[in-house]
């Protein structure tokens, strides 16, 4: 019999949290392993913490951590991974969009020797075409800029204890869970799942949230944008050298030089590339600034049923 930790981050999920815990229990109980739930309240403004306390009172295998404020899902996942103590950990959202009936398949894959089992999104039901288009655009750009597939990858995963121990060794402030788990390697498999509609409440992500999330992921995970900017510099260097040579040639042979259009185009082109380059560099400097401050990545102010750490 193995110990399975079930990690659920929750931000304003009072309405659905109990349902998720029950559904997970129902689907995993037949496997006969010991289940330990760890619920993270990411500084919710609703009754989420009270719900966690009630669940913990009723079920001794439920423990909880609460943050001093909203630190974001990445921080909630990190706190959970710091505190969980199972032989493997299952991570899922609190809104039933990660279907609990897939969990037994994940556990079976783990028992067959896989150390990381990724849930891969098949399709998203109940999303407007506009939102789907926007997320495709944002994530398509993100993929080009970082090599990460954020469109289909998800935080719905099973991680072996060894993977969790390695994840704890990352000391960066700006963690990007999905990317870093990919980066770790290990014996890995995927299980496709259909993203269900939210059980209750509403998504915490607006369009701007999506862009910010993708931007953070790219900046904290990849330096490709810096390389693209340097490549642009090379392209513009070659281009301007050619134009310069032609101007010299015209001046030498015909005693004339090209007029305004060339000058205007050059000014606009160089101006734009310079501004984009400054933008990219300053984004990275911003990230470095956040990293060097070495602030705590989350602050736990509440605990119930004594989770191991945090």
Contact criterion met (CB below 8 Å) for 21 and 37: yes
Check binding of 66 to ligand UDP (CB under 6 A).
no
170 torsion bin: left (phi>0), alpha (psi -120 to 50), beta (else): beta
- CB-wise, 11 or 139, nearer to ligand UDP? 11
- Three-state secondary structure string covering 262-289: HHHHHHHHHHHHHHHHHHHHHHHHHHHH
Q: Which residues of the chain form contacts with Mg ion (CB under 5 A)?
A: 93, 95, 97
Q: Measure the CA–CA gap between 278 and 214, rounded to whole angstroms.
A: 20
Place of tokens 């959970």: 80
CB of 198 to Mg ion, least distance (A): 6
Q: Number of helices and strands (H, E) in the chain?
A: 10, 8
| Interface region with ligand UDP, contact rule CB under 6 A, candidates 3-11, 52-60, 232-240, 266-274 | 3-11
Contact criterion met (CB below 8 Å) for 38 and 7: yes
Per-residue binding string, ligand UDP, 23-62, x by CB under 6 A, is -------------------x--------------------
| Interface region with ligand UDP, contact rule CB under 6 A, candidates 87-95, 226-234, 242-250, 296-304 | 87-95
CB of 47 to Mg ion, least distance (A): 19
Helix (H) or strand (E) holding 118: strand 116-124
Per-residue binding string, ligand UDP, 94-133, x by CB under 6 A, is xx-x------------------------------------
If DSSP codes are grouped into helix, strand and coil, which group holds residue 66?
A: strand
Token pair listed for 292: 């060097």
Check binding of 11 to ligand UDP (CB under 6 A).
yes
| Interface region with ligand UDP, contact rule CB under 6 A, candidates 8-16, 115-123, 251-259, 276-284 | 8-16
Check binding of 90 to ligand UDP (CB under 6 A).
no
Beta-ladder partners of 225: none
Residues 6+ apart with CB under 8 A from 141: 214
Check binding of 82 to ligand UDP (CB under 6 A).
no
CB of 285 to ligand UDP, least distance (A): 25
Q: Which residues bind ligand UDP (CB under 6 A)?
A: 9-11, 13, 42, 70, 72-73, 76, 93-95, 97, 203-205
């Amino acid at each position: 019999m193995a110990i399975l930790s079930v990690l659920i981050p929750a931000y304003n999920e009072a309405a659905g949290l109990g349902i998720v815990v029950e559904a997970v229990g129902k689907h995993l109980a037949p496997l006969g392993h010991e289940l330990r739930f760890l619920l993270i309240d990411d500084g919710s403004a609703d009754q989420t913490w009270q719900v966690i306390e009630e669940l913990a009172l009723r079920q001794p295998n439920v423990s909880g951590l609460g943050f001093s404020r909203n630190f974001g899902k990445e921080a909630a996942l990190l706190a959970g991974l710091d505190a969980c103590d199972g032989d493997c950990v299952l991570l899922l959202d609190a809104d039933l969009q990660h279907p609990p009936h897939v969990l037994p398949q994940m556990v079976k894959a783990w028992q067959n020797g896989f150390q990381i089992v990724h849930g891969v999104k098949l399709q998203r039901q109940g999303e407007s075409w506009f939102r789907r288009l926007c997320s495709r655009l944002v994530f398509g750009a993100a993929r080009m800029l970082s090599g990460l597939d954020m469109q289909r990858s998800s935080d719905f995963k099973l991680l072996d204890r060894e993977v969790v121990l390695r994840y704890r060794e990352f000391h960066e402030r700006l963690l990007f869970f999905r990317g870093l788990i990919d980066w770790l390697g290990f014996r890995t498999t995927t299980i496709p799942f259909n993203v269900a509609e939210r059980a209750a409440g509403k998504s915490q992500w607006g369009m701007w949230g999506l862009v910010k999330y993708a931007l953070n992921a790219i900046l904290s995970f990849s330096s490709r944008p810096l390389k693209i900017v340097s490549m642009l510099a090379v392209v513009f260097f070659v281009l301007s050298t050619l134009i310069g040579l032609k101007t010299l040639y015209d001046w030498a042979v015909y005693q004339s030089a090209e007029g305004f259009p060339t000058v205007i185009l050059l000014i606009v082109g160089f101006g734009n590339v310079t501004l984009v380059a400054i933008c990219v560099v300053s984004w990275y400097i911003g990230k470095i600034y956040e990293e060097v401050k070495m602030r705590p990545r989350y602050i736990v102010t509440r605990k119930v049923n004594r989770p191991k750490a945090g």
